[in-house]
Structure 1
Amino acid sequence: MTTPMTDTVRKGYVPSPFGQLHYAECGGAGDEPVLMLHQTPRSWTEYLHVLPRVGTARRAVAMDTLGFGASAKPEGPHSIERFADAAEALADALGLERFHLVGHHTGGVIAVELAARLGERVASLLLSATPFIDEEKRRTAAERKQVDHVDPRPDGSHLLELWNRRRDFYASGEEAALTRFMVDALTVLDRVEEGHVAVRSYAMDQRLPGITARTLAVCAPGDHYSLPALERFAAALGCETRVLSGGHVPVPEQLPAEFAEIVLEWSARA
């Protein structure tokens, strides 16, 4: 597969009940587009190098989750249900009548809710490194340490602390991707943990039986947070699973060609 240029990405906004929602897209061919949802506290740029690759064969759309990136940031507590409300509003506004759905980490949890709601409107579902949330995870949510929260300090040392929180997920030479994480996290620094909190309180196990879409669950081998969930999703959904050739938590940025190839292959299956 050739390497598409990221300057083919088009960006825009659509209105929603929550305010404007920001998205980026590539391509336009094919009957069924692909909608991609990112992890917390990222933005569409998590798919910066995936989007144009998928766009070579399909209309590929990556949105900024409500409350993150350049999308509206309404008051009140975030929840997976509200994130899904906004994603559905964006799909409606863009005329995505039937589409393939891809979600990474938090984006995968949002994708579960969206697929359970929309039924046959979701042509296929790809859950990437998606945590499996059950009663035990919800019960112990308050005991889990914060992921990205740092207290701002006058000398700016909190910036290095935030960088180091995620540094081990990235290999040497991947500093550009880690810098994109920093930009996204700093954009929502005062609410940076709310996406993680929303995930941990979501009644996923109660929603999984409503999913009818053909589903694939994938994960990077280095992502020990989410790798055990593959077996849980296989048991709950009877879905296929796949371990990628490498990578860690930010695998769409680390292996964009492989990730895009899987998206295209899975969405093309009859």
Structure 2
Amino acid sequence: MEIERGFVRIAEGQMHLRRTAGSEDGRPPLVLLHPSPGSSIQLVPLMEALVAAGAPPLIALDTLGNGDSAAPAPETPDIAYFADAALRALDALGIARFHLFGALTGARMACEMAVMAPDRIGQLILEGMGEFDAELQALLLDRYAPEMAPHDYGYQLLWAFNFVRDQATHFPYFLRDPAHRTMSRAVPDADELHMRAVEVLKALRTYHKSYRAAFTYPGRARLAAVTVPTSLLAAQGNADAIADQLSYADGMANGQVVECGSSVADKAATLAGLIR
């Protein structure tokens, strides 16, 4: 089934989206929210795998200030603003009820959408949900997502490539020592690095806004306010990740931790199973 691109107009301008073409079948759609940086293009492999797994209609939104979507209106928007914008986009699309998946920044947005509109969401699925302690939060706000603009000598081109590449090897990416090395994922290949860098460059002046909103989001407190059935994904067999997500689920009215394999097909099968 083809994944088509389109736009929906909200107050700020046009929000870009990807959706499965001709897939309306009476089931509530699954809405997907991407991590930072980038856009819904990162979710295309997952969408393709979800189609193969028999998932309902799919809609993936570009967060305001990312990809091909309009810039956010406030100078310093918070996650509640981004969540409200996504809900307004779904209103404009005529979608009253839906399932919802979000990863990292997208998980924070999805969590807040569930607090704002619990009657509209069937199943909430979150990947990479959490919050940062005060020390790390301050460091991330100071260094992780700098404000950028085109440079006379093209500095932004080199910066964008290294930004997305280094994220695959260290967290935070700018602390390039063994203590901060991430060994659980491969460095993306040349095509994916190019795609990710291009998506950052497309939203160069605004990509940082959703990042900074995510860094300050009080995940634990907001999860405690969620009432819809919620699944927190954790890497299969990773005891630390499972324990971390259990600490969040334990504070929820209707939360569970679901272990998920590392491949796109594994994730698609997990998501499809949760929303059947």
Q: TM > 0.5 between the two?
A: yes
* Gaps in structure 2 of 5+ consecutive residues: 170-181
Compute the displacement of 1:115 (Å): 0.4
SS in 1 for 2:76: coil
Q: Which residue number in structure 1 is paired with residue 4 of structure 2?
A: 10
Question: How large is the RMSD of aligned CA atoms in angstroms?
Answer: 2.9
Compute the displacement of 1:223 (Å): 9.7
TM-score of the two chains, using structure 1 as the length reference: 0.81
Task: State how far apart, in whole Å, the 1-side matches of 2:159 and 2:237 are.
Answer: 26
Q: Confirm whether residue 267 of structure 1 aligns to residue 275 of structure 2.
A: yes
Structure 1 counterpart of 2:231, one-letter code = L
Given that 1:34 and 1:60 are in contact with CA atoms closer than 8 Å, whether structure 2 keeps it comes out as: yes
Most deviating of 224-233 and 13-22: 224-233
SS in 1 for 2:143: coil
Deviations 1:170-226 (A, max 9, x none): 525633333222122122233333222101222334432331211111134699997
Given that 2:147 and 2:208 are in contact with CA atoms closer than 8 Å, whether structure 1 keeps it comes out as: no
Deviations 1:99-142 (A, max 9, x none): 10000000000001000111121001000112236xx44x7522
SS in 1 for 2:269: helix
Q: Which residue number in structure 2 is paired with residue 48 of structure 1?
A: 44
Q: Which residue number in structure 1 is paired with residue 110 of structure 2?
A: 111
Most deviating of 204-213 and 53-62: 204-213
Q: Confirm whether residue 22 of structure 1 aligns to residue 20 of structure 2.
A: no
Q: Confirm whether residue 147 of structure 1 aligns to residue 144 of structure 2.
A: yes
Task: State how far apart, in whole Å, the 2-side matches of 1:160 and 1:19 are.
Answer: 28
Residues 222 and 83 of structure 1: CA distance in aligned 2, closer, same or farther (over 3 Å) = farther
Structure 2 counterpart of 1:22, one-letter code = H
Structure 2 counterpart of 1:143, one-letter code = L
Deviations 1:127-168 (A, max 9, x none): 0112236xx44x752233533548758364434432432242
Task: State how far apart, in whole Å, the 2-side matches of 1:216 and 1:108 are.
Answer: 11
Task: State how far apart, in whole Å, the 1-side matches of 2:200 and 2:274 are.
Answer: 31
Q: Which residue number in structure 2 is paired with residue 62 of structure 1?
A: 60
Most deviating of 53-62 and 222-231: 222-231
Residues 228 and 195 of structure 1: CA distance in aligned 2, closer, same or farther (over 3 Å) = farther
Aligned residue pairs total 251
Given that 2:145 and 2:211 are in contact with CA atoms closer than 8 Å, whether structure 1 keeps it comes out as: no
1:155-194 residue pairs with structure 2 within 5 A? 156=155, 157-168=158-169, 171=186, 174-194=189-209
Q: Confirm whether residue 243 of structure 1 aligns to residue 242 of structure 2.
A: no
Q: Which residue number in structure 2 is paired with residue 252 of structure 1?
A: none
Task: State how far apart, in whole Å, the 1-side matches of 2:152 and 2:168 are.
Answer: 20
Residues 86 and 173 of structure 1: CA distance in aligned 2, closer, same or farther (over 3 Å) = closer
Percent identical among aligned pairs is: 24
SS in 2 for 1:189: coil
Compute the displacement of 1:92 (Å): 0.9
* Gaps in structure 1 of 5+ consecutive residues: 247-254
Structure 2 counterpart of 1:42, one-letter code = G
1:216-231 residue pairs with structure 2 within 5 A? 216-220=231-235, 229-231=244-246
SS in 2 for 1:67: coil
SS in 1 for 2:144: coil
SS in 2 for 1:260: helix
Compute the displacement of 1:16 (Å): 0.7
Residues 223 and 96 of structure 1: CA distance in aligned 2, closer, same or farther (over 3 Å) = farther
Task: State how far apart, in whole Å, the 1-side matches of 2:240 and 2:78 are.
Answer: 21
